Chains A and B, each alone.
Chain A
Amino acid sequence: MSGGVDSAVAAARAVEAGHDVVGVHLALSRMPGTLRTGSRGCCTIEDSRDAWRACDVLGIPYYVWDFSERFKEDVVQDFIDEYAAGRTPNPCMRCNERIKFAALLEKAIALGFDAVCTGHYAKVIEDADGNRELHRAADWAKDQSYVLGVLTHEQLKHSMFPLADTPSKAEVRAEAERRGLSVANKPDSHDICFIPDGDTAGWLAEKIEMTRGDIVDETGAKVGEHPGANAFTVGQRRGLKLGTPAADGKPRFVLEIRPKENKVVVGPQALLAIDEIRGIKVSWAGLPIREVETGEEFDCYAQVRAHGDPVPAAARMETAGDSAGQLVVRLADPLRGVAPGQTVVLYQGSRVLGQATIDAARSLQRAVL
Chain B
Amino acid sequence: MPAYLDHAATTPLSAEALAALTRELARTGNPSSLHGSGRRARRTVEDARETIAAAAGAHPSEVIFTSGGTESDNLAVKGLYWARRAEDPARRRILCSAVEHHAVLDTVEWLERHEGAEVTWLPVDGEGVVDLPFLEAELARDPAGVALVTVMWANNEVGTIQPVHRVVELAHAAGVPVHSDAVQAFGSLPVHFRDSGLDAMSISGHKIGGPVGVGALLLGRAVKLTPVQHGGGQERDVRSGTLDTASIAAFAAAAAGVTANPADEAARIAALRDRLVEGVLERIPEAVLRGAPGAGRLPGNAHFTFPGCEGDSLLFLLDLAGVESSTGSACTAGVPRPSHVLLAMGLDEETARGAQRFTLGHASTDADVDALLAALPDAYARARQAGMAGHESSIQTAGTIARQVPGSR
A pairs with B: yes
Contact with B along A1-34 (1 / 0, CB 8 A): 0000000000000000000001000010110100
Per the 8 Å Cβ criterion, residues 384-409 of B in contact with A are: 385-386, 388-390, 393-399, 401-402, 404-407, 409
Cβ distance A83 to chain B, nearest Cβ, rounded Å: 18
| Chain B residue at minimal CB-CB distance from A150 | B398
Any chain B CB within 8 A of the CB of A66?
yes
| Chain B residue at minimal CB-CB distance from A109 | B389
Any chain A CB within 8 A of the CB of B319?
yes
The distance in angstroms between the C-alpha atoms of A106 and B405, with both chains bound, is: 24
Contact A106 B395 (CB under 8 A): yes
Contact B402 A64 (CB under 8 A): no
| Chain A residue at minimal CB-CB distance from B384 | A110
Contact A110 B406 (CB under 8 A): no
Q: Which of A27, A319, A323, A355 is B398 in contact with, Cβ under 8 Å?
A: A355
Any chain A CB within 8 A of the CB of B212?
no
Contact A22 B390 (CB under 8 A): no
Neighbouring B residues of A112 by C-beta, 8 Å:
317, 320, 382
Any chain A CB within 8 A of the CB of B222?
no
Any chain A CB within 8 A of the CB of B336?
yes
Contact B406 A323 (CB under 8 A): yes
The distance in angstroms between the C-alpha atoms of A288 and B337, with both chains bound, is: 43
| Chain B residue at minimal CB-CB distance from A320 | B406
| Chain A residue at minimal CB-CB distance from B313 | A111
Neighbouring B residues of A22 by C-beta, 8 Å:
316
Contact B394 A324 (CB under 8 A): no
Any chain B CB within 8 A of the CB of A207?
no
Any chain A CB within 8 A of the CB of B341?
no
Chain A interface helix/strand/loop/mixed: mixed
Any chain B CB within 8 A of the CB of A97?
yes
Cβ distance B15 to chain A, nearest Cβ, rounded Å: 28
Cβ distance B2 to chain A, nearest Cβ, rounded Å: 12
Any chain A CB within 8 A of the CB of B285?
no
A: contact size bracket: 35 or more
Neighbouring B residues of A322 by C-beta, 8 Å:
405-406
Contact B335 A30 (CB under 8 A): yes
Contact B406 A102 (CB under 8 A): no
Cβ distance B247 to chain A, nearest Cβ, rounded Å: 25
Any chain A CB within 8 A of the CB of B383?
yes
Neighbouring B residues of A283 by C-beta, 8 Å:
397-398, 401-402
Neighbouring B residues of A355 by C-beta, 8 Å:
398
Per the 8 Å Cβ criterion, residues 66-110 of A in contact with B are: 66-68, 70, 97-98, 101-107, 109-110
Give the tally of cross-chain contacts (CB within 8 A).
111
Contact with A along B297-333 (1 / 0, CB 8 A): 0000000000000001100110110000000000111
Per the 8 Å Cβ criterion, residues 97-125 of B in contact with A are: none
Cβ distance A195 to chain B, nearest Cβ, rounded Å: 19
Q: Provided the pairs A97-B397, A152-B398 are in contact, do residues A70 and B390 lie with their beta carbons within 8 angstroms?
A: yes
Neighbouring A residues of B407 by C-beta, 8 Å:
319
Contact B336 A64 (CB under 8 A): yes
Q: Provided the pairs A64-B336, A106-B395, A152-B396 are in contact, do residues A280 and B388 lie with their beta carbons within 8 angstroms?
A: no
Contact A97 B399 (CB under 8 A): yes
The distance in angstroms between the C-alpha atoms of A98 and B383, with both chains bound, is: 21
Contact A68 B399 (CB under 8 A): no
Neighbouring B residues of A158 by C-beta, 8 Å:
395
Neighbouring B residues of A281 by C-beta, 8 Å:
398-399, 401-402
The distance in angstroms between the C-alpha atoms of A364 and B406, with both chains bound, is: 30
Any chain A CB within 8 A of the CB of B334?
yes
Contact B333 A52 (CB under 8 A): yes
The contact sample of 6 A-B pairs, CB cut-off 8 A, is A45-B332, A102-B393, A110-B385, A155-B397, A281-B401, A283-B401
Which residues from chain A sit less than 8 Å from chain B, CB to CB? 22, 27, 29-30, 32, 45, 48-49, 52, 61, 63-68, 70, 97-98, 101-107, 109-112, 150-155, 158, 280-283, 319, 322-325, 355
6 closest A-B pairs (Cβ-Cβ)? A283-B398, A110-B386, A48-B333, A281-B402, A106-B389, A110-B385
Known contacts A98-B397, A111-B383, A283-B402, then 12 further A-B pairs from the complex at CB < 8 Å, ordered by chain A residue: A48-B334, A61-B316, A63-B312, A66-B335, A66-B336, A101-B395, A102-B397, A111-B313, A111-B317, A152-B401, A322-B406, A325-B406
